[in-house]
Amino acid sequence: MLVAVAAAGLAGCATVYNLPGNAPLGAALADNNIARDLPDYQDDTLLALSFSGGGTRAAAFSFGVLQELDRARSGAGTKSLLDRVDFVSGVSGGSVTAAYFGLKRRAALDDFRERFLLRNAEEGLKTQISLGNIGRALGGGVNDSQFTNWLDRNLFDGARFDVLSSGRGPRVWINASDIYNRTPFVFDKTTFDALCSDIRPYRVAEAVSASAAVPLAFAPIVLETYPGGCAAPLPPWVDRVRGDPNAQPLLHSFAEALGRYRDGSMRYVKLLDGGLVDNYGLSGLSIGLLAAQRPYEPLNERQAARLRRILFLVVDAGRGVSGDFVQTLEGPNGVELVSAAADTAIDASVRSSYAAFTSLASDWSGKLKRWRCGLSATDRGRLGLGASWKCGDVGIYVERLGFDRLGPQRAGILNAIPTRFSLPPEQVDELIAGGADALRSSAAYQSFRRGL
């Protein structure tokens, strides 16, 4: 009781918060074209990756997938599949790999292991259980900007989104959770346009920190809204969906959030770990498909007409079942109970999001084929489609790569690795090898390669 009273007292004088790091849009008027946030690929193949949360173990497992993609080539002297990645989405630990790959592209393979995976990214954090830290947790979060600043200095070298979205590499989405609207928050042009904020000078490290901000361990990352600070309207689908009570709930809640950012009803947006609402990072893609008004959207006509092969790889380093409290009448204890409840909520969410996304992708593929096969000769000529073009020649593959692909014994070893931001080298290398082997063993991936 005395500890609880003392902690409550400390909470009152140990308020922890982050200052907003985003700038107003100013004169840079937005056109709010959602296609700007999706890949602008130049060939007939669309390769998209999504990296789950899970601390350094997720970052290492997804890094192994990147290494294996680099080993895959369709012919002598040709680019590897790593060079053909069009889009990468990341959550929490997976967002570190996604952002670094987006910034460095192939060069990320040279030093990511040494610069991040083998480093102790917790070295500047308060991680001990103490009366002071309990007070800070109750006051908003044990840590504020320490992780952001560590990433900025040691990994991202002060990089801003103007580099990440320059068009020279794959399109990157970093995913966090808007804890007021209870929706995904995607760090992209569309979302920042709704804030009337300019994403270009925003620090990549801050977005990654928001994606990885575990509640209580970290204070929320804060963004400021600037209502009235831009002239361009929100995308047309936002008002349409907000006024439709029958709209799909994910799309409706996201549209409501965008509307609140713009209309002045929210002064600040508070962001925590993206895994709270979507530990696979698929919500942004799902929203893009649900918001589409034409069969080929969210792509443009020319992209959709040229497309032949699509591969969505979901790299899952999530936690499996753990603990032994099911063997005794007693338990779980308080710590185990909190952990089990969080894992239950996250696992249920990702299973639902993956099932929903695979269904959406399948439906979209069917609509795309019907649209292509309905093109007139004039349309085919306008889009530059030759005589050998086949309207139904579109293959779509959606695959989840998890520890379970590696057999029970190896999966058990990897699942026992904690979801920390500091791991010993032998565990890091085991995870990297696991990611590569999981991809290599995927039948969908091998089918995709054969179809190139």
Helix (H) or strand (E) holding 304, with range, is: helix 301-306
Closest CA to 200 of 19, 38, 23: 23
186-198, pLDDT tens digit by residue? 999 999 999 999 9
Q: Which amino acid is at 168?
A: R
Residue 395 has pLDDT above 80, yes or no: yes
pLDDT tens-digit profile of 337-385? 767 777 777 777 788 888 999 999 999 999 999 999 999 999 999 999 9
Look-up of token digits 């200052």: 19
* Interatomic CA distance for residues 154 and 167, integer angstroms: 24
pLDDT in tens, 7-28: 444 445 568 889 999 999 875 4
- Angstrom distance (rounded) from CA 189 to CA 198: 8
Catalytic residues, which ones? 92, 273
Strand duo 395-401 + 309-315: pairing: parallel
- Contact status, residue 21 vs residue 200, Cβ threshold 8 Å: no
Task: Give the other-Cβ count within 10 Å of 157's Cβ.
Answer: 13
CA-CA-CA-CA dihedral for 205, 210, 214, 218, to nearest 10 = 80
Query: What per-residue confidence (pLDDT) applies to 164?
Result: 85
What confidence tens digit (pLDDT) does each residue in 210-244 have?
Answer: 999 999 888 999 999 999 899 889 999 999 999 99
Asked if 194 and 233 touch (Cβ cutoff 8 Å), the reply is no
Q: How far apart are CA 427 and CA 420, in angstroms?
A: 12
Mean pLDDT of the chain: 88
Residues in Cβ contact with 103 at an 8 Å cutoff, skipping those fewer than 6 apart: 156, 159, 163, 164, 169, 204
Q: Give the residue among 214, 216, 55 at the shortest CA–CA distance from 129.
A: 216
Nearest to 69 by CA among 53, 92, 88, 54: 88
d(CA 368, CA 373): 9
Residue % of the chain over a pLDDT of 90? 67
**Cβ atoms 169, 103 nearer than 8 A:** yes
User: Does pLDDT of 165 surpass 80?
Assistant: no
pLDDT given at position 346: 75
Q: Which pLDDT band, with edges at 50, 70 and 90, does 108 fall under?
A: very high
* Average of per-residue pLDDT across 248-267: 95
Q: Which domains does the chain have, with CATH numbers?
A: 23-30+47-322+352-376+391-450 (3.40.1090)
User: How big is the chain, counted in residues?
Assistant: 452
Across 62-71, 154-163, 345-354, 436-445, least confident range? 345-354
Query: Of the ranges 27-36, 173-182, 312-321, 332-341, which one carries the lowest mean pLDDT score?
Result: 27-36
Dist CA 168 CA 416 (whole Å):
38
Phi, psi dihedrals of residue 73, rounded to the nearest 5° = -130, 145
Q: What is the DSSP letter of 172?
A: E
DSSP H or E run through 259: helix 249-263
Residue 313: strand, helix, or coil: strand
